[in-house]
Amino acid sequence: MSFTHKFDPTSLREYDIRGIVGKTLHPEDAFAIGRTFGSIVARKGGRTVVIGYDGRLSSPSLEDALVKGALASGVEVVRVGRGPTPMLYFASVTLKADGAIMVTGSHNPPNYNGFKMMLSGKPFFGEQIKELGALSAAGDVVPEAEGTVRSIDIKDDYIARLIQDWDGGTRKLKVVWDNGNSVAGEVLAELVKKIPGEHTILNGEIDGTFPAHHPDPTVAKNLEQLIAKVGETHADIGIAFDGDADRIGVVDDKGQILWGDQILVILARDVLRERPGATIIADVKASQVLFDEIAKAGGTPLMWRTGHSLIKSKMAETASPLAGEMSGHIFFADKWYGFDDALYAAIRLLGIVARLDVPLSAVRDALPETISTPELRFDCDDTRKFAVIEEVAARLKESGADVSLIDGVRVNTKDGWWLLRASNTQAVLVARAEGNTEAGLEHLKSALTEQLEKSGIAAPDFSGDNAGH
């Protein structure tokens, strides 16, 4: 039986394949991913593909079609069932699988779903995803064959491995967890039994409609329930997950949010005690405070491009033990496997908090204060967004500005810094500015607005958006 399949072009993203179920994403797409990815694995001499899925309502049917497609490529499919994306990564690494596919809509609304992939233990992204689309459209797959399938339950092994690196001793912390109805629910319920202390779990039930709030812990309003419970229970810390538990949100004992870069400061100081001089990576959206604090703690800070696949690849290249993104992806290669895992990051963070002789809020409050805009995303046509960045970069270079072009343009001035980059996944430009003072931030916003206007783009609305950080 001949095979060809064309994907909706909007579903083939930089880091994953993702779309709206029933509109841009269907079970036929899942079958085609299995069929084509299975062929890629087979042509590389591989044999095993591990498959898992998240708690969304559409995930079981997509997983079923995905498995059928992979089997038609003659590979051995290992089904690990429903669980966090990091649990699939764990299965892939520990089973030494040749490929892995996770059915997940991550932090997107309930009507979305998608697929994250690994090939030969590395992220499968960018040009590889484009190639998968082209191979599928051309029907360029291995001849149809009958693969084999088996199901395994890896949850207990995963939980045991998570808890292996607990280093907080016997201190009994008071912890509030907001599972956010994410797919981590079952794992989390077992995990907390093994950590000393008093644990309160909010929204523990896995529910793909996300009835409590949107499953994105980097948005302040999604943390309101957690903040309230931390206050009510006088907890030491609150921890939240996104829909597939590869991103973490944290609030301290005062209910203050710790953003991705602030979490990374605390983790980096701990890792650097045992690994002085190590390279710690953060994305281009992170605060200058983070890079300064890594250097102060004896580390080598490295600013890199946004995107979990890009960060993982850079970690492997630089032998970095720790990396993070503002989006709440935290990657440990110190004692762990180099992939982003919110449950593992939580274990390591709780260990640090248990060893502190002051509250977590005291550590957060001691960080240098800056004033920043949140991440501002505004529409810009896919055909125009990268050209705008090139135009701005050319003007800045001509003016002699102190500019980094690692990912978009990041401009350093005496007032702080501002960033403008094109999203890899949406038709938007992304801007952020961080000033040392209110007046400094205004200068930065003006400079950013001026550059946008010179390229014929209306500046985003900055009004009332400043946040202490």
CA gap 104, 81 in Å, rounded:
12
Torsion over CA: 311, 312, 315, 320 (sign): positive
Instruction: List the structure tokens of 395.
Output: 């003007």
* Strand, coil or helix: 333: coil
For residue 62, which of 109, 107, 116 has the smallest C-alpha distance? 116
- Rounded to whole angstroms, how far apart are CA atoms 183 and 50? 18
Q: How many helices (H) and strands (E) does the chain have?
A: 14, 23
- pLDDT for 359 equals 98
Cβ-based neighbours of 452, under 8 Å, separated by 6 or more: 388, 392, 420, 429, 431, 458, 459
Spatial separation of the C-alpha atoms in residues 131 and 316, rounded to whole Å: 23
**Residue 464: helix, strand or coil by DSSP?**
coil
Nearest to 306 by CA among 288, 291, 324: 324
CA torsion, points 18, 19, 25, 29, in degrees to nearest 10? -20
What is each CA distance from 438 to 287, 348, 372, 450, in whole angstroms? 16, 35, 9, 19
Report d(CA 361, CA 347) in Å as an integer: 18
Query: How distant, in Å, are the alpha carbons of 44, 309, 425 from that of 127?
Result: 17, 12, 14
Residue showing tokens 């990268």 = 386
**Helix locations, 235-275, DSSP H:** 260-274
70/39 Cα distance (integer angstroms)? 8
Is CATH 3.40.120.10 correct for 157-365? Answer: yes
For the chain, residues with pLDDT lower than 70 are: 1, 463-469
With 0-12 / 13-18 / 19 or more C-beta atoms within 10 angstroms meaning exposed / middle / buried, residue 413 is middle
Reduced to 3 states, what is the DSSP secondary structure of residue 32? helix
CB burial of 328-348 (b: ≥16 within 10 Å; e: otherwise) equals: bbbbbbbebbbbbbbbbbbbb
**Predicted local distance difference test score (pLDDT) of residue 404:** 96
Q: Check 73, 106, 313, 372 and give the catalytic one.
A: 106
Where, residue-wise, is CATH 3.30.310.50 in the chain? 371-468
- The pLDDT score that the predictor gives to residue 12 is 95
Superfamily of domain 9-153: Alpha-D-Glucose-1,6-Bisphosphate, subunit A, domain 3 (3.40.120.10)
Q: CA 332 to CA 450: how far, in whole Å?
A: 39
Is the CATH code 3.30.310.50 the one for domain 371-468?
yes
The stretches of 82-126 forming alpha helices (DSSP H) are: 85-94
C-beta of residue 358 within 8 angstroms of C-beta of residue 253: no
106 is catalytic: yes
* Neighbouring residues of 47: CB distance < 8 A, sequence distance ≥ 6: 41, 75, 76, 98
Cβ neighbour number for residue 164 with a 10 Å cutoff: 11
Residues 180 and 308: their CA atoms lie apart, in Å, by 21
Strand partners, 257: 251
Measured over the CA atoms of residue 296, residue 302, residue 307 and residue 310, the dihedral's sign is: negative
Tokens of residue 266, six digits = 């605390």
Nearest to 257 by CA among 286, 215, 219, 284: 219
Tell me how far apart the alpha carbons of residues 89 and 87 are, in angstroms, rounded to a whole number: 5
Q: In angstroms, rounded to a whole number, what is the distance separating the alpha carbons of residues 166 and 147? A: 39
Asked if residues 441 and 413 have their Cβ atoms less than 8 Å apart, the reply is no
All CATH 3.40.120.10 domain ranges in the chain, comma separated: 9-153, 157-365
Residue 426's pLDDT is what? 81
CA atoms of 200 and 238, how far apart (whole Å)? 9
Q: At what angle do helices 85-94 and 342-355 cross, to 10 degrees?
A: 100
Full-model pTM: 0.95
Given a contact cutoff of 8 angstroms between Cβ atoms, the answer to whether 101 and 34 are in contact is yes
**β-strand pairing of 402-404 with 416-422:** unpaired
Report whether 20 contacts 62 (CB < 8 A).
no
CA neighbor of 390 nearest in space, from 421, 427, 435: 421
